[in-house]
Amino acid sequence: MDLGVEGRRAILLASSRGLGRACAESIAREGAHVVVNGRTEADVHAAVAAIESAHGVVATAVVGDSTTTAIHDALLDACPEPDIVLLNGEGPPPTPFGQIDEDQWQAAVTQQLLGPLTFLQRVLPGMRERRWGRIVAVSSAMVKSPNPLMSLSHGTRLGLAGVLKGLSKQAVADNVTINQLLPERFDTDRQRQMAELVMTLRDISYEEARAEQEASIKAGRLGRADEFGDTFAFLCSDQAGYLSGQSIQLDGGSYEGLF
């Protein structure tokens, strides 16, 4: 299937590793030019080199914290008129609710809510004027069954979801879609870190922690990053122009509800 994104320009926040990198790879494979962002210079430049070599598109590196105005400026200097935007970022560390202090709440709000929204304020008007745009935010399927260790992440991600849903109702009339992808456990560094945390908390082996992760998914396995990236690419396609305001779960069939 030709997704109709060849030659489109994409800015992908937090895309040098993990699920963000998979999204960059999938959209570049379809011929889109990409701006790759991350906080670690070596990771960003390695991703850019690999993407250009594999897919023959223009890939541009922007190193830094994508929640800051300075990096927003740098991203838009690299790509002044993006057609595609991925709102992604590393979540706050798992923390028991009773141990979260005010500074941690403020940092989570900036990281997960204010950073993405202030960037969106800068790119959404141009997309609507050009009458083509695809915006995808990465949230978490686990907000459907909250874990108390993830209160920092769940609270702010749900706030972002509410704002994006409202915006989607206005933007879709201009052929600008806004959707969310809700991944459950995917085989990335994040889940390896979570397994190591469980090892420490429960005094079990790494293999036991990983087996518990896999058993928690109805599919009996963790998701593959390329599965996530290819779903993102479809949401960015011409064919997905009638799909907006949705929160799409990629969770290996784990969610128990009908809706």
Question: Are 207 and 139 part of one and the same domain?
Answer: no
* SS3 state of residue 204: coil
Q: Is residue 256 domain-resident?
A: no
The answer to whether residue 255 sits within a structural domain is: no
- Would you state the pLDDT for residue 103? 93
**DSSP structural state of residue 1:** -
pLDDT-derived band of residue 250, with 50, 70 and 90 as boundaries? very high
Confirm whether 217 is domain-assigned: yes
The verdict on 128 and 163 lying in the same domain is yes
Q: Tell me, what CATH number does 166's domain have?
A: 3.40.50.720
Read off the tokens for 153.
């992440």
Please give the model's pTM, rounded to 2 decimal places. 0.93
Q: Do 111 and 198 lie in a common domain?
A: no
71 and 199 inside one domain: no
Residues 154 and 202 in one domain: no
- Residue 235 and residue 111 in one domain: yes
Would you say residue 4 lies in a domain? Answer: no
Q: Is residue 126 part of a domain?
A: yes
Q: Are residues 217 and 235 in the same domain?
A: no
pLDDT 10s digits, 10-60:
999 999 999 999 999 999 999 999 999 999 999 999 999 999 999 999 999
Indicate whether 83 and 198 sit together in one domain. no
Torsion angles phi and psi, residue 65, rounded to 5: -80, 110
Helix (H) or strand (E) holding 140: none
pLDDT for 101-160, tens place per residue? 999 999 999 999 999 999 999 999 999 999 999 999 998 765 555 667 677 878 888 899
Is the distance from CB of 186 to CB of 214 less than 8 angstroms? Answer: no
- 3-state SS of the chain is CCCCCCCCEEEECCCCCHHHHHHHHHHHHCCCEEEEEECCHHHHHHHHHHHHHHHCCCEEEEECCCCCHHHHHHHHHHCCCCCEEEECCCCCCCCCHHHCCHHHHHHHHHHHHHHHHHHHHHHHHHHHHHCCEEEEEECCHHHHCCCHHHHHHHHHHHHHHHHHHHHHHHHHHHCEEEEEEEECCECCHHHHHHHHHHHHHHCCCHHHHHHHHHHCCCCCCCECHHHHHHHHHHHCCHHHCCCCCCEEEECCCCCCCCC
The verdict on residue 236 lying in a domain is yes
Residues of the domain holding 141? 9-184+224-248
Read off the tokens for 91.
């979540």
Does residue 193 share a domain with residue 115? no
Residue 259 lies in a domain: no
Indicate the pLDDT class of residue 93, thresholds 50, 70 and 90: confident
Q: How many CA atoms lie within 13 A of 91 on its CB side?
A: 27
User: 144 and 99: one domain?
Assistant: yes
Cα–Cα–Cα angle for 113, 117, 123, nearest 5°?
155
Contacts of 215 (CB under 8 A, 6+ apart): none
CA separation for the pair 233, 101 (Å, rounded): 38
Domain total of the chain: 2
Joined tokens for residue 255:
């969610």
| Residue 233 C-beta-side C-alpha neighbours within 13 Å | 26
Q: Are residues 66 and 132 in the same domain?
A: yes
Task: Report pLDDT digits (tens) over 163-207.
Answer: 999 999 999 999 999 999 999 889 998 888 889 988 988 899 999
Question: Is 55 within the bounds of a domain?
Answer: yes
Check whether residue 218 and residue 105 sit in a common domain: no
- Mean pLDDT (the chain) is 93
